[in-house]
Amino acid sequence: MRILLTPLVRALTPTVALVLTCACGSRPAPPSPEASSTVASAFERDIHSFARPDEARVTHVDLRLTVDFATRTLAGTATLTIRRAPGAKSVVLDTRGLTVSGVTSADGASLTVTRGTADPILGQALSIALPDGVTQIVVAYVTAPDAAALQWLAPSQTAGGVHPYLYSQGEAILTRTWIPTQDSPGIRQTYTAHITVPRALRALMSAESLTPDGVEGPAGRTFDFRLTQPVPPYLIALAVGDLAFRPLGPRTGVYAEPSVVDVAASEFAELEQMVVAAEALLGPYRWGRYDVLVMPPSFPFGGMENPRLTFTTPTILARDRSLVSLLAHELAHSWSGNLVTNATWSDFWLNEGVTTYVENRIMEAVYGPRRAEMLRVLERRELLKTIADLGGMDAPDTILHVNLAGRDPDDGATQIPYDKGAALLRVLEQSCGRPQFDAYLRSYMDRHAFQSATTAGFLADVRGRLCTADTADGSSKAGTTQAIRSPEWERTVRLDEWAYKPGLPSNAVVATSEALEAAGAQAHAFAGGTAARALRTQGWSTEEWLHFLAELPPALSPGQLADLDRAFGFTKRGNSEVLFAWLRIAIRQHYQPAMPALEHFLLSQGRRKFVRPLYEDLMGVAWGRPEARHIYARARPLYHAVTTGAVDKILGVGVSEPRKP
């Protein structure tokens, strides 16, 4: 049974509150938003939201929107259900760039709206006076054509080339550019939606589809959706396009444009197995279906864990299933992130670090320990490189609980929360063994399901429960836990150092992989003069190729690069990760023959992880600067705002320039 938090309990310490909110069971019952207490909210304010949820909290969003490709706007209403604390006189919403034409109560009476000052990062608070008894408000609004969450694609930017395409990207604080609601990860909301699109297109959302084929009406085709599990608003997502579907398993499937969907279905054939592996580790999948939508090439992320419908980049389609760890990652978010959510963006590592750990465990379960350990070795290299890039072991941005005061949460989205976060979980796993750790992780998900988590709350929970005798059923009562870990546990694990200090603690577990050592030895042999063709590379996996490229010496002659390229065809690789690694080397060495491929890569996809470093590399060398500007002039209209935002800074593109020409 779920125990509701009373105001008194809310005033207690987070540890006590965590114990009292124990769900004490593993049944996947979706709670009502009323019952989904947010342990953290009373203690940690979200500096990236204007909302004052302790006074008035949005619990449900009902959208009625029309998608207009001609004006690049969504127009309609958001009807918000509000839970009011006694005495609350208003509700404060987050908005950014929305044109709100009016706010009424459910019976149509107009309500007084007060707008705050606009902040470039946070947007604008919208405060609505609530007469006594009003618990529903109807906000009539239109989005801006350049709303940061939305990307409007012309037909030429899609795989099919005939129909336009629209999608939203809410994380971290972009949902407020298309939905006027309380846009904070600690404010969970259920939602319903009624979306009207041009007749030839299909709408999908991160929700159950109630009318899969849509309903024809005078204004177009209308699709209805419902998500009964409460989620933070960054997980409300919409995609509209010419989309086909292929089932993969009983509750899994893939959507993509018709010309891509079969390739995607074969690439993702093991998706159902991954869900089964994740459930074995973390408990039941609580969202019903798990489908994947392959996005057009400009999608700025590798993947986005929208509930029931992960969005992925098409650059994952290597045609040999070699990049599917990305699916394992987004799937893992169905627990870490979507079920147990970071309370604020400073706790982002609780979403991404736990997910990166679980991703590797899913890979191990489905593809074996050899592949998983290779991935961990590559991950550690990335982590050390990120720490160096951020300024070394003392750099403040290498702290897991990152300080985001006055900053965009995006600034904290480095590899640190991912790889240092996962590294902390591996230290915990090692500190008392896998069976104990797995029991703890499972109980953590159950006990905090549909709630948010703070860094302090997580550390307290670990201290109170990890490797104690009764972790497995999560039913420990204060004072009765029998510690089975050694008295030195706290001193060896160094939790506070991991969470609150920069750098990488020296007790991090170092992964090793014989396969990668062998691949590294081949790179060293090449550096020592062995011809590329004489290297032993037969049957190498993507991980081995990536390690080989990373282990090559920093300076290579044009002749050596040509030798590698002739032997292994790097410039023509279809695997986006291998091509990306090779192109970085090519820029570093000014390897001219790879430049057309570089240009093509930058013009054919907009994944920020690939695009940003390549422009950075180009801008780092004198010959590269005009190249970068020349390519970017054509590529910029193809990219999402998330990507142009990053690349504009690198190229010094002024704010006065239009974002989407």
Nearer to ligand BES, 338 or 571 (CB): 338
Secondary structure letter of residue 163 according to DSSP: S
In the complex, minimum distance from the CB of residue 326 to ligand BES, in angstroms, rounded to a whole number: 4
CA–CA gap between residue 655 and residue 661 (Å, rounded): 13
Nearer to Zn ion, 164 or 185 (CB): 185
In the complex, minimum distance from the CB of residue 11 to ligand BES, in angstroms, rounded to a whole number: 33
Please give the angle made by the CA atoms of 231, 237 and 239, to the nearest 5 degrees.
Answer: 160
In the complex, minimum distance from the CB of residue 336 to Zn ion, in angstroms, rounded to a whole number: 9
Instruction: Note the helical H segments in 33-191.
Output: none
In the complex, minimum distance from the CB of residue 469 to ligand BES, in angstroms, rounded to a whole number: 34
CA–CA gap between residue 633 and residue 627 (Å, rounded): 10
Q: Where are the beta strands (DSSP E) in 400-519?
A: 451-453
From the centroid of its chain, how far is CA 57? 25
User: In what helix (H) or strand (E) does residue 78 lie, and over which residues does it extend?
Assistant: strand 73-84
In the complex, minimum distance from the CB of residue 137 to ligand BES, in angstroms, rounded to a whole number: 28
DSSP three-state, residue 209: strand
Q: Are strands 124-129 and 90-95 parallel, antiparallel or unpaired?
A: antiparallel
In the block, residue with structure tokens 């209209």? 637
On the CB side of 478, how many CA atoms lie within 13 Å of its CA? 9
Give the residues lining the site for ligand BES (CB under 6 A): 171-172, 301-305, 326, 329-330, 333, 352, 413, 418, 609
Query: Which one of 330, 543, 551, 577 is the catalytic residue?
Result: 330
Chosen from ligand BES, Zn ion, none, partner binding at 594 (C-beta under 5 to 8 Å by type): none
Nearer to ligand BES, 134 or 402 (CB): 402
Nearest to 285 by CA among 252, 255, 237: 252
Secondary structure letter of residue 409 according to DSSP: G
Chosen from Zn ion, ligand BES, none, partner binding at 462 (C-beta under 5 to 8 Å by type): none
Nearest to 361 by CA among 337, 338, 331: 331
Residue 27: phi, psi to the nearest 5?
A: -70, 135
Nearer to ligand BES, 171 or 347 (CB): 171
CA–CA gap between residue 193 and residue 62 (Å, rounded): 6
In the complex, minimum distance from the CB of residue 535 to ligand BES, in angstroms, rounded to a whole number: 29
Nearer to ligand BES, 353 or 520 (CB): 353
Chosen from ligand BES, Zn ion, none, partner binding at 547 (C-beta under 5 to 8 Å by type): none
Sheet holding 113-115, edge to edge: 90-95, 124-129, 113-115
Chosen from ligand BES, Zn ion, none, partner binding at 171 (C-beta under 5 to 8 Å by type): ligand BES
* Burial state string for 224-251 with b = 16 or more CB within 10 A and e = fewer than 16: bbebebbbbbbbbbbbbbbbbbeebbeb
Nearer to Zn ion, 327 or 552 (CB): 327
| Burial grade of 139 (CB within 10 A; 0-12, 13-18, 19 or more) | buried
Query: Which one of 255, 357, 418, 444 is the catalytic residue?
Result: 418
Nearer to ligand BES, 56 or 642 (CB): 642
Catalytic residue at 440? no
Bridge partners for 56 per DSSP = 84
Chosen from ligand BES, Zn ion, none, partner binding at 304 (C-beta under 5 to 8 Å by type): ligand BES
Asked if residue 182 lies in contact with residue 233, where contact means CB atoms within 8 angstroms, the answer is yes
Chosen from Zn ion, ligand BES, none, partner binding at 326 (C-beta under 5 to 8 Å by type): ligand BES
Catalytic residue at 208? no
Q: What is the largest CA-CA distance in the chain?
A: 82
In the complex, minimum distance from the CB of residue 330 to Zn ion, in angstroms, rounded to a whole number: 7
Chosen from Zn ion, ligand BES, none, partner binding at 544 (C-beta under 5 to 8 Å by type): none
Chosen from Zn ion, ligand BES, none, partner binding at 332 (C-beta under 5 to 8 Å by type): none
Nearer to Zn ion, 234 or 632 (CB): 234
In the complex, minimum distance from the CB of residue 413 to ligand BES, in angstroms, rounded to a whole number: 4
Give the residues lining the site for Zn ion (CB under 5 A): 352, 355
- Which sequence positions are flagged as catalytic? 330, 418
